[in-house]
Chain A
Amino acid sequence: DTEVTQTPKHLVMGMTNKKSLKCEQHMGHRAMYWYKQKAKKPPELMFVYSYEKLSINESVPSRFSPECPNSSLLNLHLHALQPEDSALYLCASRLEADSSYNSPLHFGNGTRLTVT
C-alpha cells in the first residue's frame, strides 16, 4: 500500500476543460513533488514544494498550476491542456527537499491523464 494517495486514478479531459489532480500524504514530509511520465520514459521533474513554498519550477507551461494548501496536500490545476500533455502524473513526497537529509522519495500510484 502506498502512503501517498493520488486522485483521481484516471482522468479524461477536453482541451477547454479545467480539472485538478490531488495528492495527499500524512507522513509528516515537508517536500512534495510533481513528475510527469510518458510511456517507457523516466519521470520528468515538474515542480518541487518545500515547506509549502514553491521551490522549483522546471519551466513548466502555465497551463499547469501547482498549489500546496498545507503540508499534507498538493494539487495540480490543469487548464487548456494539449493532447501531448497526456501522461501519467506522479506525486512524490520526502522528509526534506534538502539533499543532506538523505531521504527517499515516496510515490503515489499516479493519475493517468488523457487529453482529447
Chain B
Amino acid sequence: QQPVQSPQAVILREGEDAVINCSSSKALYSVHWYRQKHGEAPVFLMILLKGGEQKGHDKISASFNEKKQQSSLYLTASQLSYSGTYFCGTEMRTGNQFYFGTGTSLTVIP
C-alpha cells in the first residue's frame, strides 16, 4: 500500500535542481507532497488531483501522471531551506486511508 519514492537520498549544492519520484501500485485519486525537517512535523506543500496535472509553489513544482500512478516533485534553484525529508502522500477515491511514501532525504549544502 505504501508508495515507493526515489531516490532515497540526495545531496545538492545551492542552486542545483532535483527531482523526487513517487510511484504507487494502486490507482490513485490524489497525491500530496509534504516536507519534514528534523525534529519537526511534516508540512504540506501541495496537492495534485488529476492525471497530468502540474502545480507550482515558488521554485517547487510537481506533476501527477494518473495512468502511470506516479508523481514527481521538482525543486529548482535549491536553497538551504529546502533541506529535509520529502514524503508523497496518497489516497484512493474511496476509503479514508492516507499513506505516506518511503521518503526522500534532501540535503542542500552551500
Residues of A within 8 A of B (CB): 2, 4, 31, 33, 35, 40-45, 48, 50, 55-56, 58, 90, 97-100, 102, 104-110
Contact of A45 among B49, B98, B101, B105 (CB under 8 A): B98
Note all chain A residues with C-beta closer than 8 A to B44: 104-106
Judging by beta carbons under 8 Å apart, are A43 and B29 in contact?
A: no
Nearest residue, chain A, Cβ from B93: A99
Rounded to whole angstroms, the CA-CA distance of A11 and B44 in the bound complex is 26
A107 with B98: in contact, given A99-B29, A102-B47 (CB under 8 Å)?
Answer: no
Taking CB atoms, residues of chain B closer than 8 Å to A40 are 103, 105
A102 touching B97, Cβ below 8 Å? no
Q: B residues near A, CB below 8 A? A: 2, 29-30, 32, 34, 40-44, 47, 49, 87, 89, 91-103, 105
Can you add 7 more A-B contacts, CB < 8 Å, to A105-B89, A107-B41?
A41-B103, A43-B100, A58-B97, A98-B96, A100-B93, A107-B43, A110-B41
- B residues within 8 A CB of A50? 96
Residues of A within 8 A of B32 (CB): 104-105
Q: List 22 A-B contacts (CB under 8 A).
A: A40-B103, A40-B105, A42-B2, A42-B87, A42-B100, A42-B101, A42-B103, A45-B98, A45-B99, A48-B97, A56-B95, A90-B41, A97-B96, A99-B30, A99-B94, A104-B47, A105-B42, A107-B41, A107-B43, A108-B41, A109-B40, A109-B41
> Contact between B41 and A48 (Cβ–Cβ < 8 Å)?
no
Per the bound structure, the CA–CA distance linking A15 and B103 in Å amounts to 31
Q: Which residues of A contact B87 (CB under 8 A)?
A: 42-43
Residue contact B91 to A99, C-beta cutoff 8 Å: yes
